[in-house]
Each structure stands twice: as C-alpha cells, then as structure tokens.
C-alpha cells in the first residue's frame, strides 16, 4: 500500500488566532447499560470495546451482536461510536484481530481506536472506510508526531496527557488533525499509561487490558535480615501510597480547554459505575452548553464541582495541563472523597401519579429524601411519599438488587439516576 508523503510543518513565531468550535463530549461505555446512560445524559460520542483487544478487559464490554446493537442505538440518538482495538498485538493474534476489525466495519462504527502501527496497517486494509483514532498509549507529544500519524492514515490523535494546555493549543493550531484530550477521571502514574508494574508483580499486562492496579497499593521497605519488619517508605504522616495518582477534574477550567481548539473532550471511566457516568456526563454537558451559549459572560457554576465531589473519587487535580507542581503529586494518603452508598438506583419505568419503578442498588427507606439527576436541568430533591414493592404493596424499605416503586414529588424520566440526600 502506497503511503502519501509526510506533510511538512513550519512553526510560525506567533500562534495564529483561533476561533474555538463547540467540542465533542466523549463518554465511556463499558457495557450496554452504561451506553444507555451516556446517551441519556448528553454525550456526543461514546467509546467502547469488544471482549478482547482493548485496555479495559474487565469492564464488561460488548459481544459481536451487542456491538451491532450498540451502534444502532447510538446512531438512532445521533451519537457516534468509537471502538477500541488499542492493545499492542502479538504475532499469533493477527488473524483474530483482522476478524474483529471486519466486525467493526460491519457494525458501521464511526472510528476505531488504535495504538499499534501494525493494527493501523490492518485497519487501512480491512476497513478503509472507518476513520482511525490514535490512542493515548501512542503518547503523541508534538506536531511532527501528529503529522506523521496523519501521513499513515490516522484522522484523530488523543494527545499525550503529559502536555500542558499551551502545548495542546500549539498542536491544534499547527495541524489539521482532529485532537482529543482527557478532562475527567482516573489517571495512571506511568508515562501515558505505559506501565509494566502490573505485569511484573501479578503477571497481568496493563498494556493488554489486564491491569491489576498495583499503583493503588500501599508499599513499605523490608530489610534483608529482618523479613518480618516493614518500614514506611517516607516519614511523611500522609502515608506511603507513593504511586497513587490523583483523579483529573477540569470542570473549573472549561474555557481554557475549549480555547485550545481541541476537537473532543474525553471522560475516563469504562470500569466506573453508572452513578459516576451520569454525574460526570451531565455536569460537563451543562458546562459546555453554557459556555457555547454565551462565552463572553460564562462563569463556572459552583454547583458543578459540588456535584462531581459527591461521587466517590480520589483527590482531584488538574494533571499536567496548568503546570501546577502539586497537581501531579501522588495521592500519598490514598484519600477518597464522596459517598459510596449515596447512589440508590435507576428509573426503569414511569407510571401514573409520579410513581417510578426503580432498580435498587443501595438500601432505601420510606423516610429518606432523594435527589434525582435528569439531563439538562439542575438536580431536583424529593421526599418519598410512597414506597412499594413491584406488586404495589407498601413497604418500609427496599434492599439492593431488588426493584421498588417510588412515589416522588415530580415525574422523572426512564434512565434518570436517584441518589440519597
């Protein structure tokens, strides 16, 4: 296959002016339920994967039949689907990867996400009509790298997370490629996620979707002649979680993100729950729409950070984007914030007189008050004026992994998320 010549790049002394466009909001879809939630709360696009060949093999993912259904559902709601095939492959996998790429083509996915140059070559041969997006694993850090990838058929690059916003802006202004950056979620301690620690300690290769997350473990020192005595690695009272990174949160810097000219703002979290997904997609959707509607008078709504903070998370930081020294410091004390049992459930059906059939995930009592997350409107609180089993019998409480009917103050929608106040 002939490869077109690589475009030349000349860097002007001053970056040209840029009129930012509305960026795409790209959400994770670890399984079909999460896909429905991402669509419901306003994602413009989702990224997901088959059962193999992605970097999140434990997120549930999609069978071949489910992948077809997922693309059909997303397209019916004007949402794009990008399918990950971003492992670094082995020789013996070439035939199976080729079959998977053909499946992506038959599903009519909007792009395939790739890291390995060999898979890029296969994708160009097998599914030439499907755009190729380059994974963050390829750690693209400069214009010339982006132009190289463009020369071999890549349409979009997920830029290396080690870049500052100034560097992101420079790449966006000096290439014609689509660009994508992470804006929220867990961060890996290793360079662009390329980690060998999991493989070394547990024989689970993080570069092939099997990470055991040893960076989240607590470590100590052991002296050779005293094997049963463990010593803290530091004397800092915060603890010894020396590899444990903070979570990324850029909700307070949305104008700076959009003004880089980046094409897509990406949320991490194919293995996170639907409470996390609903809250984060809803919040960034509200923020993006508010900015685009009136950029000159835009201000960050303090409620956005409060809402994100209620979801179980590690300490927030801004990563490398702003050049803040403490933003990429490890989360030494393994601090978690938010309320893990706050999530109550998901509305399955809406019935007469504000009765809602809910799939219960955490225990709820008749005397509790709840908050309901609906797309496009602020979170609304409600008392429970009636609690019933699915047959309509009054009950005092509902247990996890059951269904219950809640009578609330307002009529809400299918897929709305209910939390405890």
pLDDT at residue 220 in the model: 67
| Integer CA distances (angstroms), 14 to 144, 145, 147, 172, 270, in order | 18, 20, 20, 14, 39
Residues of the chain with pLDDT under 50: 1, 6-7, 9-13, 17, 235, 238
How far apart CA 53 and CA 49 sit, in angstroms, is: 8
How far apart CA 192 and CA 137 sit, in angstroms, is: 6
pLDDT at residue 387 in the model: 97
Q: Which CATH code of 3.30.420.10, 3.40.50.10490, 2.60.120.10, 2.40.30.10 fits the domain covering 343-420?
A: 2.40.30.10
**Of 213, 156, 219, 217, the residue nearest 186 (C-alpha):** 213
**Which stretch of DSSP H or E encloses residue 125?**
helix 117-126
DSSP at 155: E
DSSP at 382: E
Task: Please say whether the beta carbons of 318 and 250 come within 8 A.
Answer: yes
pLDDT at residue 11 in the model: 47
**Of 372, 386, 375, 305, the residue nearest 338 (C-alpha):** 305
* Residue ranges per structural domain of the chain: 24-191+244-337, 343-420
DSSP at 247: E
Percentage of the residues of the chain whose pLDDT score is greater than 70:
79
Task: Please say whether the beta carbons of 349 and 413 come within 8 A.
Answer: no
Please name the CATH architecture into which domain 24-191+244-337 falls. Answer: Alpha-Beta Barrel (3.20)
pLDDT at residue 225 in the model: 79
Question: Three-class SS of residue 139?
Answer: coil
pLDDT at residue 13 in the model: 44
Q: Give residue 352's Cα distance to chain centre.
A: 36
| Integer CA distances (angstroms), 217 to 55, 179, 213, 327, in order | 20, 33, 8, 20
């Amino acid at each position: 296959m002939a490869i077109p010549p690589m475009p030349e790049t000349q860097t002007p002394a001053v970056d040209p002016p840029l009129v930012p466009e509305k960026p795409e909001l790209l959400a994770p879809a670890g399984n079909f339920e999460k896909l429905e939630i991402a669509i419901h709360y306003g994602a413009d696009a989702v990224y997901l994967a088959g059962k193999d060949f992605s970097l999140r093999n434990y997120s549930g993912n999609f069978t071949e039949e489910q992948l077809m259904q997922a693309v059909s559902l997303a397209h019916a709601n004007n949402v794009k689907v990008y399918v990950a095939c971003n492992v670094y492959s082995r020789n013996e996998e070439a035939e199976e990867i080729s079959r998977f790429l053909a499946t992506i083509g038959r599903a009519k996915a909007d792009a395939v996400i790739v890291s390995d140059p060999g898979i890029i070559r296969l994708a160009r041969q097998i599914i030439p009509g499907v755009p190729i997006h380059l994974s963050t694993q390829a750690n693209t850090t400069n214009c010339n790298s982006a132009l190289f990838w463009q020369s071999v058929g890549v349409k979009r690059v997920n830029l290396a997370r080690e870049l500052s916003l100034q560097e992101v802006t420079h790449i966006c202004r000096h290439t014609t490629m689509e660009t994508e950056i992470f804006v929220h979620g867990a961060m890996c301690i290793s360079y662009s996620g390329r980690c060998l620690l999991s493989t070394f300690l547990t024989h689970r290769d993080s570069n092939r979707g099997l990470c055991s997350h040893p960076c989240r473990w607590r470590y100590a020192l052991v002296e050779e002649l005293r094997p049963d005595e463990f010593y803290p690695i530091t004397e800092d009272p915060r603890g010894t979680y020396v590899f444990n990174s903070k979570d990324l949160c850029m909700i307070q810097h949305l104008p700076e993100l959009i003004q880089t000219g980046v094409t897509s703002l990406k949320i991490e979290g194919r293995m996170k729950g639907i409470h996390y997904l609903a809250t984060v997609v809803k919040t960034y959707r509200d923020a993006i729409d508010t900015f685009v509607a009136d950029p000159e008078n835009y201000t960050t709504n303090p409620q956005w950070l409060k809402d994100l903070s209620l979801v179980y998370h590690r300490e927030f930081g801004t990563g490398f984007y702003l050049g803040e020294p403490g933003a990429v410091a490890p989360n030494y004390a393994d601090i978690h914030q938010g309320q893990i049992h706050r999530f109550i459930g998901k509305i399955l059906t809406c019935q007469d007189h504000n009765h809602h059939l809910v799939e219960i995930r955490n225990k709820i009592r008749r005397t509790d008050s709840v908050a309901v997350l609906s797309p496009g409107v602020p979170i609304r609180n409600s008392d429970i004026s009636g609690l019933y089993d699915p047959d309509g019998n009054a009950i005092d409480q509902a247990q996890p992994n059951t269904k219950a009917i809640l009578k609330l103050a307002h009529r809400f929608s299918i897929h709305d998320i209910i939390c405890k106040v």
